Amino acid sequence: MLALVAPGQGAQTPGFLTPWLELPRAKDLLTWWGAVAGVDLLHLGTTADSEEIKATENAQPLLVSAGLLGALSLFPHPSDAFGKVGVVAGHSVGEFTAAAGARAITAESAMVLVRERGLAMAQASALVTSGMSALLGGEREVVIDAINKHQLIAANENGAGQIVAAGLLENLQALEANPPEGVRVRPLAVAGAFHTSYMESAHARLAQLARSVTVRDPRTKVLSNADGAVVHSGREILDRMVSQISQPVRWDLCMKSMSELGVTAVIEVPPAGTLVGLIKRALPGVETLALKTPEDIPAAMDIIARHGFPSELSDNPTWRMIVAPFSGKFTHTDIQIGDEVSAGRIIGRVSNRQESVDLLSDHGGIVIEFMVEDGDPVAPGQPIARLHPHGQGAH
């Protein structure tokens, strides 16, 4: 299974889009997306200095446009991707790249939202002197305990021995002066304490805008930063991305879900390198490629040819898959193979210590197969049952 992943803020470097302008449609697309977002993407991606592209309101639309441009370099006709890409995920603002790539929202909606997201987060950051620092190494429990003791928040858990603390700058400096044994603390070049309650005003602004955004259910599996779950509803994807502004990013759980789903190769779209570095350490058996320049396209196409196959989600399915939303235990109902069910019918339940969720049939149809038995443990995105749907195609 092939995964496409999109990086978050901090991955950008001055001039990184320059080689991409050699592609036939690049300038036109960047000009259009820039007009939509109200920002000069051509300038930001080629001639702007590090301070200008570090600014949150510039960095976020720049990152999303770069990721979409990279994805289109591999799949000029976006529908082709759904025959090859099994799962998509993004880190922080990269979730908007992933959502647009999966057709849950349009590229234009993504550009408007991330520009407003960046502006709102910059405004929220100006209210207090806050920031973020990466803690490298150490045991998770020890690192989390140290973060809590300094009245900070674990805003990103990136796996592979990297946790990002966020909060007041004075508390971050105190942590840097007295880190846990064997842990290096590295301040990050960001404007504020992202993915914490300090961003609540930005969350409120995006929530207001998101209510008017048109969404569709995605055409491939989309992993959520909140908990690594596969999300099948376009509205839920957008709601989760909005909530994520003031909630921690669990990239470690996204990588765990990739492993459980059977991902065998990962391509990171531009500006690439950060996420494949984490994946190499966390999932050593997975083939990775950082799509940094157009020179990497041939190698990416080779990976696509060897690892890509259709997701079970498509416009005209002969069956529908019901999957587990998170790790837990599956409990059966009285529904049997061959039973005809209506839309909204409870197929079963997945429970763990934190939550319990009924698995509902999104469409009416006939139950073809159960892939798990009563009492079996299940992982996020694991297929539970197949349903032959009534009607024509997905909605």
Domain segments of the chain as ranges: 2-124+197-307, 127-187, 320-389
pTM: 0.80
Q: In the 8-state DSSP scheme, what is residue 375?
A: T
Local confidence band at 94 (pLDDT 50, 70, 90 cut-offs): very high
The class of domain 127-187 in CATH terms is alpha beta
**Is residue 180 reached through a cis peptide bond, with omega within 30 degrees of 0 on the bond before it?**
no
List Cβ neighbours of 76 (8 Å cut-off, separation of 6 or more). Answer: 25
Please state which CATH class domain 320-389 belongs to: mainly beta
CB-based contacts of 59, cutoff 8 Å, min separation 6: 9, 12, 53, 93, 118
pLDDT of res. 319: 59
pLDDT of 310 reads 65
Amino acid 255: pLDDT: 96
Element (H, E) at 123: helix 107-125
pLDDT tens sequence across 317-357: 445 778 888 889 999 999 988 888 988 899 999 998 878 88
pLDDT at 210: 95
Over residues 242-282, the pLDDT tens digits come to 999 999 999 999 999 999 999 999 999 999 999 999 999 99
Measured between alpha carbons, how far is 326 from 230 in angstroms, rounded to an integer?
8
Position 316 scores a pLDDT of 43
- Tell me the pLDDT tens digit for each residue of 322-331: 888 888 999 9
Q: Give which of 83, 101, 114, 96 is closest to 4, Cα–Cα.
A: 101
Tens digits of residue pLDDT in 25-45:
999 999 999 999 999 999 999
pLDDT bucket at 12, cuts 50 / 70 / 90: very high
Percent of the chain residues topping a pLDDT of 70: 96
> If pLDDT is split at 50, 70 and 90, which confidence band does 390 have?
low
Q: What is the pLDDT of residues 50-71, one digit of tens each?
A: 999 999 999 999 999 999 999 9
**Torsion over CA of 346, 348, 352 and 357, rounded to 10 degrees?**
-10
Residues 6+ apart with CB under 8 A from 204: none
Output the average pLDDT for the chain.
91
Report residue 155's pLDDT band, with 50, 70 and 90 as the boundaries: very high
pLDDT beyond 80 at 362: no
Distance CA 392, CA 385 (A): 20
Active site residues: 92, 195
Give the single-character DSSP code of 249.
B
2-124+197-307 folds as Malonyl-Coenzyme A Acyl Carrier Protein; domain 2 (3.40.366)
Distance of CA 70 to the CA centre of its chain: 16
